[in-house]
Structure 1
């Protein structure tokens, strides 16, 4: 993937299962060889190791081959094992040479030679390089998807001195059907190569099956009008499967590795991103998508936290997740109970979605008259520390598994396997860059469970609005409200919606905190709109607790709500009482919040404009009481500021009123003197 990696693409690539003969016995390999008309000499070579073994040695070697455990073999068996491994490689080489060109019948070598500029991206260095290559491409596409069409292509190796197209590599060139910005092609390559880097990071932790992502380049046809761009990938023959999508589809019944890989990228990146839309042949993937927190990179398929929520609602941790010490994402009891049924329903979402098609997380689909009382749900004792949450320990680099459905053995493996998509000429500097990347991600790694995030909040390492995990839970609550996660879209899973919104509030998501405050206090809100809660002093106390958190986080509405409550004594519950000192504090905080606004300009559509708050503060200081000292001087100054603000807002009569009240306040100062 570096600048000097042109040699990596010249190697023939096959699914790993095609090259691996370690799971077949010598007799089975002998039968396969007979079917392939293997010559007698090779047949003797296969029989010889087995003939030299005693019965005990055969059992030991078979155990070694079947389990794939890297324990130390007896010295008497090591030469025999080496012979068997050598035979495996000879069989692999023989098989690769015997394979015919699957595209020979299309006669691509008959088309004209075109000189193209190839653009390659180095994900470690975040840099581009380019060179010139010779290609032959079919004029008509052989297949197309929703957005792109594919062409068969042959590319001549830069290391081939003669123009021998009979041994040129098979490639697939892809172009967008509709016209797109040229930068889109470069963004797509950047996405796939960044995802490839995460595949290498995943492999460093020795999962049972290693993964890889297609090397992807850009071809610029300089000799054509307009210099059109194409994406270039190796052609891989095999069964193509879509394991998950960017919009929540998860094919849990087929493979464990793709889902564990996506989960791994989320935790290893410290919740900053997740690689999804996993599809390809075996564990060789192509066209992935990356969701990031902001949702601004990697094209229109980046759904941000919404995309992360869509994945985790469908994902159930498997044995590979457990072996990598990945923690369970917290789901409600209802979600866990209906998971299989929902997976069958959500196959409708198997296709890749673009930004906007999955963002309508509002309650407009519900009629305002269809109110639902969820008091009984709130009355339950909620536990914010999930029973399924992981320990939060770093992911182990020593786990090992031979089969995805079995248990990890835990035998250390120090040798890192190399894949044909990696550069054979990788420099030491590139390897150091890879190690540096791995160490940087290790420092960011964070579990997916709420319990760990709550621990960070308690130790003040996580402030309001900092928890990405909280934002994901908030998005899940909104999806539940519109029925996206229900087996029957007409039936809203209110317990699950409330479950995730409570988690989001606990993790410091301001919108979720305000939602819970407004819900308990019976106020209008943007989320959980149709939910109703019985008004009681206990619920009022809880609602004011949430409102206090929102005010402390800097929400202006919450500040003004508390200020009025402390001023009037209304809706204070049983844990608080009227206090003008507290009221003045929150009125002043609301004013300072307004002063810190980026625009600094008056907004005629604003509720409670600054001059009205200044006038209210002036009134409190003019009267005094309820633990607030009377201060006519401060009252007069505030009335004057309110009058000037009213004048700026074209409120002349109100400004005159404030000027008169200011004079009255100053008169009281003179009387006291």
Structure 2
């Protein structure tokens, strides 16, 4: 049977299809394209087999070919790395003296130290130095090789140039970096487009040298060293990256505003020497600027696509601040999100049912997603090999400043770099215990995570008030303090040139946001602004008639009084007593005036911010005398009580005597006698 050649346009019903024979199984692969073999030839007669073509198509789509390409990429990368020579060979470190040293490593999860003995060779003179430390080239002998310095790894030993630096500083620096490394692992667990890592760092104690000097020990990584942001708000524009900024933003939200990892610098996404700001400003050295450091970063940070894919929320900025920074921060960034990132705020069904154990805002604000819209892949272990199959949608050239050739080969695989996790230093910890500790840390940060915007903070505080009956309504908000710090930075002209005037609207905006978050100092300032009173923050700022609202001012003052601010209590009591400063919607109420005076007298502790105002302008004997006068007269919802008035006047006289106010004490004693006389009548 002869098969006639047909064109593609002819009907498939006219094609004569016969069963496959042995000759049909013989494949002739064209040398120019090993992925697309040419159809088999039977003598001089060509045939077209639909079954054969469909089989070829299936073989093309099989994962085997993708794995094969991946293996070739790995092999190519390995051969290139193998050909690389030791970059420090010319420095002849093997000729230096062999020394024994103690290495102190820190377990960030268990808060413990592990010490072992190592053998090293170190240069006598530093090859580089910074503002505080100098660096030495060093080789460390591997524990798996004996006197084979050719296999020794390259390290950098750093020490403080100031010889008076306390030894504890070295250990504090290691704790800082390893804690930051732990947050890097938590960031990677959410499957971002580019995973990050932070140098494994240790303290090296040279026990054979006089005084046992200390060094910081880090692996040497060859490449271009770039500083992406600083601990004071700097963001590098020349080598703009999305990953470092998203990582810092992630740590702020995931820690529940308790800390933020900044000062991101290093080679690619391998970072070193970070800094951590905490909400209380404790620990982590002098570089910890507390909420002031957080404020500087959040003011300069603009959320990018990675922040959005992780469900991070933008920090609230004034319209004028957003307008002043129209530059698109993603123009020179190449990282592309895959859509498989695990968002930060995504409570499970069990967590949703137990709001007492898992308080989470389900905000309507844009950028703060619930995570129910689409499924997301989850990383069960940090630093594990996810898959050998590649995902073309998740690949981009790179957003790194420098990417070596081996990494470009590896980009086909979408695999994380092999890392030492934060618990790898403790060899005595079994796998089950390590996983348990890691899960506890994940659960802890999952419960703490809160959004960066004020709306989320307000809702969070409302939830807490429902759960805790006697919880303070003000104070304790790191986000509120951050907004207040930004207002103070504006007042100090931090964000303008020396000859320019600071942005009053932006400063007022941040004071208002701080007040919304329950910051007592901001609440008091907003009350003073609307009531046209003297204020310490933004003293040159006054509200015009269109924005000044006595109702808002009095409400803020009342809120401050409820937070045990003594000055606010006295203002509220005076307003209810005299009507001065009372808005039109309220009337004199001596019952409330007596209540607030009594609260002032009986308050002997600080307010909810921890401050105590002795109110020297309103001494206690005057406050008691005011109460006595209102009880003696009666009215405005207060029942007249001459006996109560006499007792209060007598007490005021005793207080005046203690204050060395003899004439005033005599006056109060006389008024007490008059009140009791009126009682007898």
TM-score by length of 1: 0.77
Q: Does 1:430 align with 2:434?
A: yes
* Deviations 1:266-308 (CA, angstroms, capped at 9, x unpaired): 1111111111000000000000011110011111111111111
C-alpha displacement at 1:201, in angstroms? 0.4
Q: Choose between structure 1 and 2 for higher RCO, CA contacts under 8 A separated by at least 6 residues.
A: 1
Alignment of 1:521-532 (within 5 A): 521-532=531-542
Q: Does structure 2 retain, via aligned residues, the 8 Å contact 1:271–1:469?
A: yes
Cα distance between partner residues in 1 of 2:217 and 2:313: 37
- Partner of residue 396, structure 2: 403
Aligned to 1:635: 645
Structure 1 Cα separation of the partners of residues 547 and 193 of structure 2 = 56
Of residues 222, 241, 245, the one that matches 1:237 is 222
1:140 aligned residue = 125
Q: Tell me the SS of whatever aligns to 2:235.
A: coil
Please give the alpha-carbon distance, in whole angstroms, between the structure 2 residues aligned to 1:333 and 1:442. 32
SS in 1 for 2:154: strand
| 1:390 aligned partner | 367
Distance 1:660 1:507 in 2: 49
Give the Cα separation in 2 of the matches to 1:49 and 1:518: 84
C-alpha distance in structure 2 between counterparts of 1:48 and 1:308, whole Å: 62
Aligned in 2, Cα 1:544/1:152: closer, same or farther, shift over 3 Å? same
Match of 1:608 in 2: 618
Equivalent position of 1:14 in the other structure: none
Structure 2 residue corresponding to 1:169, chosen from 143, 149, 153? 153
**d(CA) in 1 for partners of 2:235, 2:143:** 40
Q: CA deviation at 1:452?
A: 1.7
Partner of 2:266: 280
Question: Structure 2 vs 1, CA of residues 49 and 257 (structure 1 numbering), >3 Å: closer, same or farther?
Answer: farther
> Paired residue for 2:35?
53
Residues 1:125 and 2:110 aligned together: yes
Q: 1:328 to 1:660 in 2, by over 3 A?
A: same
Moved more, 317-326 or 131-140: 131-140
* 56, 64, 77: which one aligns with 1:92: 77
Between the aligned partners of 2:175 and 2:166, the Cα distance in structure 1 is 15
Structure 1 match to 2:419: 420
- Please name the residue that 1:375 is paired with: none
- Counterpart in 2 of 1:16? none
Deviation at 1:521, TM superposition (A): 1.2
Cα 1:401/1:670, change in 2 over 3 Å: farther
Task: Give yes or no for contact 2:621–2:655 (8 Å, CA) kept in 1.
Answer: yes
Shift in Å, 1:506: 1.3
Change (3 A) 1:394 1:435: farther
Partner Cα distance (2:32, 2:301) in 1 = 45
Gaps of 5+ in 1: 1-46, 57-72, 344-384, 407-414
Paired with 1:48 and 1:670, the residues of 2 have a C-alpha distance of: 124
The superposition leaves residues 442-488 of structure 1 with CA deviations (integer Å, 9 ceiling, x where unpaired) of 12111112222222344535831132222211111111122212366
Q: Structure 1's 465 and 597: CA in aligned 2 closer, same or farther, altered over 3 A?
A: closer
Give the drift of 1:615. Answer: 1.9
- In the alignment, the residues of structure 2 paired with residue 83 and residue 153 of structure 1 have an alpha-carbon distance, to the nearest angstrom, of 39
Instruction: Determine whether 1:302 maps to 2:281.
Output: no
Return 5+ residue gaps in structure 2 as ranges. Answer: 1-28, 39-57, 330-361, 379-392, 400-413
SS in 2 for 1:593: coil
Q: Which moved more, 1:264-273 or 1:435-444?
A: 435-444
C-alpha displacement of 1:527: 0.9
TM-score (norm 2): 0.76
Query: For this pair of structures, how many residues does the alignment match?
Result: 557
Q: For 2:562, which of 531, 544, 552 is the aligned residue?
A: 552
Q: Which deviates the most, 313-322 or 220-229?
A: 220-229
Q: Deviations over 1:164-223 (max 9, x none)?
A: 222211111111122222111111111100000000000001111110000000011222
**Separation in structure 1 between the aligned mates of residue 287 and residue 212 of structure 2, nearest angstrom:** 26
Find the counterpart in structure 2 of residue 293 from structure 1: 279
**TM-aligned CA distance change 1:331 to 1:234, over 3 Å:** same
1:452 aligns to what SS in structure 2? helix
Aligned Cα RMSD in Å? 3.1
Which whole-Å deviations, capped at 9, do the CAs of 1:297-354 have from their partners, x for residues lacking one? 11111111111110111111111111111111111111111125799xxxxxxxxxxx
SS of residue matched to 1:271 = coil
Specify whether residues 648 and 547 from structure 1 end up closer, same or farther in structure 2 by C-alpha distance, changes over 3 A only: same
Partner Cα separation in structure 1 for residue 547 and residue 225 of structure 2: 60
Q: CA deviation at 1:394?
A: 5.8
Q: Indicate the SS of the match to 1:115.
A: strand
Taking a change above 3 Å as real, the CA distance of residues 292 and 90 of structure 1, as seen in their structure-2 partners, is: same
Partners of 2:367 and 2:675 lie apart in 1 by 63
Q: CA deviation digits over 1:543-595, x for unaligned, max 9?
A: 11211111122211111001111111112121112221121111112112236
Cα 1:656–1:108 change in 2 (3 A) is: farther
